Amino acid sequence: MNPMPVLLDCDPGHDDAIAILLALGSPHIDLLGITTTFGNCPVEKSTYNTQRILALAERSDVPVATGAAGPLAGEAHIGDYIHGATGIDGPDLPEPLAPQLSLEAVEFLRTSLLAAPAPVTVVAIGPITNIARLLRDHPGVGPKIAEVVFMGGSTERGNATPAAEFNTYADPEALDIVLTSGLPIRMVGLNLSHQALATPEIVERMRAMDHPVGRACADLMGFFGGTYSDVFDFAAPPVHDPCTIAALIDPGLIVWHKAFVAVETEGRWTRGATVVDLHDRLDEPPNAQVAITLDVEGYWDLVLDALDRVGS
Ligand code: BDR
Ligand code: CA
């Protein structure tokens, strides 16, 4: 089977870094390029961090384009209280092997999609601003997108606020554009990613790989685990973003539920919260497949295999 062509939009970010490495390490994924956004850190740092993760994987062939510095409306929220001042505090990482593209992210996405021989899967694991700008300003690319898979929202509570998950809180107007685009959508929210915990046993398996990629991932999880313990009282950090890539590689790892999903753009206390109509109470047509349950063991086997492949 030919590998699936994928464009990845991200804000590394500890879990974004693992998602990038998972995509690089999977023979099922053809990573056409990476675009960056503000989110866990300012966008310039997202780009630099992406380039350093690619350098860790000794890959200089994956194009990187810088995107949004802030949301469609309002001010940029930055997740440094979880990801540290650099966005990926913890490991020592190599310097970039290749420069970023001179093209801006939306232009890179547009030209890549138009040039692709077949529809491409778009994965968004930060605030979804770049994808919204693409769809708003270039609606003609729609038929070239196979589906949009995003990490964000929840069927339950939030983390940026009690109601809203970080990525959806950071740019609700952008998510609204994506959710109402009519494109096939898969949503991987906190209700799913909180099942993907990097327990001490998982971190030990990373470190035991005994190569720079395994050690860097273990160090990433060390810092991430510390802030998740301090801020949210979690015993182990939830590794959110790679769940999207895992869903592409093996959709059977996740139980999905087709539902109507909307995002709150008005609420006084609930701005950025996703409304997921699991029991069809709103009588609205479903617009997304929503991730519900994760095969945790299968997920970690898949992720750790890929990380080891990248590092070996
Ligand atoms: C999401 O926000 C960021 O902290 C993570 O990278 C993930 O994309 C989880 O709420
Ligand atoms: Ca992210």
- What are the C-alpha distances in Å from 311 to residues 6, 124, 214, 229, 304? 21, 24, 7, 28, 11
Q: In angstroms, what is the span from residue 126 Cα to ligand 1's centroid?
A: 7
Q: pLDDT tens across 5-27, in order? A: 999 999 999 999 999 999 999 99
Instruction: Collect all residues with Cβ–Cβ distance below 8 Å to 293 and sequence separation of at least 6.
Output: 192, 195, 254, 255
- 138 has catalytic annotation: no
Q: How many domains does the chain have?
A: 1
Q: In angstroms, what is the span from residue 152 Cα to ligand 1's centroid?
A: 7
Best mutation site among 11, 150, 188, 197 for ligand 1 pocket (most ligand atoms within 8 Å of CB)? 11
Both tokens of residue 273?
Answer: 């919260």
Q: In angstroms, what is the span from residue 117 Cα to ligand 1's centroid?
A: 32
Residue among 312, 303, 309 nearest 15 (CA):
303
In single-letter form, the type of residue at position 269 comes to: W
Best mutation site among 36, 88, 151 for ligand 1 pocket (most ligand atoms within 8 Å of CB)? 151
pLDDT above 90: percentage of residues in the chain? 99
Burial 241-256 (b: 16+ CB within 10 A, else e): bbbbbbbbbeeebbeb
Residue among 7, 2, 1 nearest 245 (CA):
7
Best mutation site among 240, 243, 274 for ligand 1 pocket (most ligand atoms within 8 Å of CB)? 240
* Active-site choice (14, 77, 83, 240): 240
Q: What is the pLDDT of residue 173?
A: 98
Other C-beta atoms closer than 10 Å to the C-beta of 59 total 16
Both tokens of residue 227?
Answer: 């802030």
Q: Tell me if 15 CB under 6 Å of ligand 1.
A: yes
Q: pLDDT tens across 215-270, in order? A: 999 999 999 999 999 999 999 999 999 999 999 999 999 999 999 999 999 999 99
Q: Whose CA is nearest to atom 10 of ligand 1?
A: 166
Instruction: Collect all residues with Cβ–Cβ distance below 8 Å to 75 and sequence separation of at least 6.
Output: none
Q: Tell me if 9 CB under 6 Å of ligand 1.
A: no
Q: Tell me if 219 CB under 6 Å of ligand 1.
A: no
Q: 212 is in which domain, residue-wise?
A: 4-311
In this prediction, residue 126 has a pLDDT band, given cuts at 50, 70 and 90, of very high
Statement: residue 39 has pLDDT above 90: yes
Q: pLDDT tens across 276-308, in order? A: 999 999 999 999 999 999 999 999 999 999 999
Ligand nearest to the CA of 50: 2
Please report which helix (H) or strand (E) contains residue 151, including its range: strand 145-151
Q: Cα separation of 20 and 34, whole Å? A: 9
Alpha helices in the chain (DSSP H): 14-25, 43-56, 80-83, 105-115, 129-137, 166-170, 172-179, 190-193, 200-207, 212-232, 242-249, 296-311
Chain Cα centroid distance, residue 13: 9
pLDDT above 70: percentage of residues in the chain? 100
Q: Tell me if 125 CB under 6 Å of ligand 1.
A: yes
> CA dihedral in degrees (83, 89, 95, 100; nearest 10)?
10
Q: pLDDT tens across 138-182, in order? A: 999 999 999 999 999 999 999 999 999 999 999 999 999 999 999
Q: Tell me if 153 CB under 6 Å of ligand 1.
A: no
Q: What is the pLDDT of residue 161?
A: 98
Instruction: Give the predicted TM-score (pTM) of the model.
Output: 0.98
Q: In angstroms, what is the span from residue 76 Cα to ligand 2's centroid?
A: 14
Q: Tell me if 89 CB under 6 Å of ligand 1.
A: no
Q: What is the pLDDT of residue 1?
A: 77
Return the CATH number at 82: 3.90.245.10
